[in-house]
Amino acid sequence: MNSYPILIIAQKEVLTHLKNYWVVLVACLILIMNIAITGILGTFFSTELDPRAILLSLIHLHMYIIPLVALILSCDSILKERELGTLELFYAYPLQSYALVMGKWLGHNIILFMVIVIGLLPISYHLYQLEVLLTHIIGFILLIFALGAVFNSLGLLLSMLVKERALAMLVSIIVWLFFVFLFDLGFVTITIMTDGKISPQLLGGLLLLDPVEAFRISAIMYLLPVDAVEIFSLNNGMLQLSTSIVATLLWIFAPLAYLCYKSNNHG
C-alpha cells in the first residue's frame, strides 16, 4: 500500500482545520471545562482533593463532549468533496480509492488528538501532583482519543452515506444523542421490564454495543480498578477491561473497513 497519498491528504486536512478558529475554540472550551471541574470539586473538599472524584468527573465530561466534537469534525468531510466536485476528480487519478478515506480519517484523528492534549495537559499535571500515576494519565488520554476515533469513523460513514450536508448534521446529532443518552435509557428500561432477570453476560454484551459505554467501562476499570469492582460491579462476565477495549477497536475499524470497501466501489 502506497501511504504517500494518504499522508498528503491527512496533511491537507490538518492544515485546513487548523485555519478554522473553531478547532482552537473547542480545545480552549475543553480546557476551561476541565479546569472548572477541578475548581468546583476543590470547593467541596476543604482539606484534600480526592483524585477519584476528579477522574470520574473527567470521564463523564469527555464521554459527552468528545463524540460530538468528532462527529462535527467528520460528518460532512466526504460529502463536501462530493458537493465541490473533487470526489469524482480524485477517483479519476490512478490512486487507491481508499486513500481519500484513510487520509481524511488520519487527518481528523490528528486534529482530535491535538484538541484532547491541549484540553487535558494542565489537568494532567494537576492529577500527577495528586499522585495519579503517569501511566494512568497517558492511558486515560489514549482512551479518550480512541473514543474520538470511533465517532470520527462513524462521522465519515455518515458523510459517505448521506447526500445532503444539513441532513448529515441532523443525523450526527441523532447518533450522538442515541449513544450518549438514549442508549442508557433503553438499557435501564430493559432491565426494569425484565425485573433484572437478564443474565450478566447478556447485560454486559448489551452495554458494549454502545462505544460510549465501552469507553466508560474501560476508563473506570483502568483508572479506578478498586472502585470498578466494589462500587460499579465491573470486572465480571463480559465487563472486562480487555473486552471493552476490543469492542472499542471494533467500533473504530468496522466502519472504516466498510468505508474503504465502498470507496473502492466508488460508493
Q: Which of 113, 140, 122 is nearest to 56 (CA)?
A: 140
Band the pLDDT of 107: cuts 50, 70, 90: very high
Band the pLDDT of 191: cuts 50, 70, 90: confident
Band the pLDDT of 111: cuts 50, 70, 90: very high
pLDDT at 217 over 80: yes
Q: What percent of the chain has pLDDT over 70?
A: 89
**Averaged pLDDT of the chain:** 85
| Average pLDDT value for residue range 177-185 | 92
| Average pLDDT value for residue range 170-197 | 86
Band the pLDDT of 113: cuts 50, 70, 90: very high
C-alpha dihedral sign at 132, 38, 177, 67: negative
Answer yes or no: are the C-beta atoms of 70 and 116 closer than 8 Å. no
Who contacts 10 (Cβ-Cβ below 8 Å, separation ≥6)? 103, 104, 106, 107, 110
pLDDT at 44 over 80: no
Band the pLDDT of 65: cuts 50, 70, 90: very high
Q: Bigger pLDDT: 91 or 252?
A: 252
| Average pLDDT value for residue range 145-173 | 92
pLDDT of residue 42: 55
Mean pLDDT comparison of 3-12, 96-105, 146-155, 201-210, highest-scoring range: 146-155
pLDDT at 74 over 60: yes
pLDDT at 95 over 80: no
pLDDT of residue 46: 45
Q: What percent of the chain has pLDDT over 90?
A: 40
Q: Bigger pLDDT: 39 or 205?
A: 205
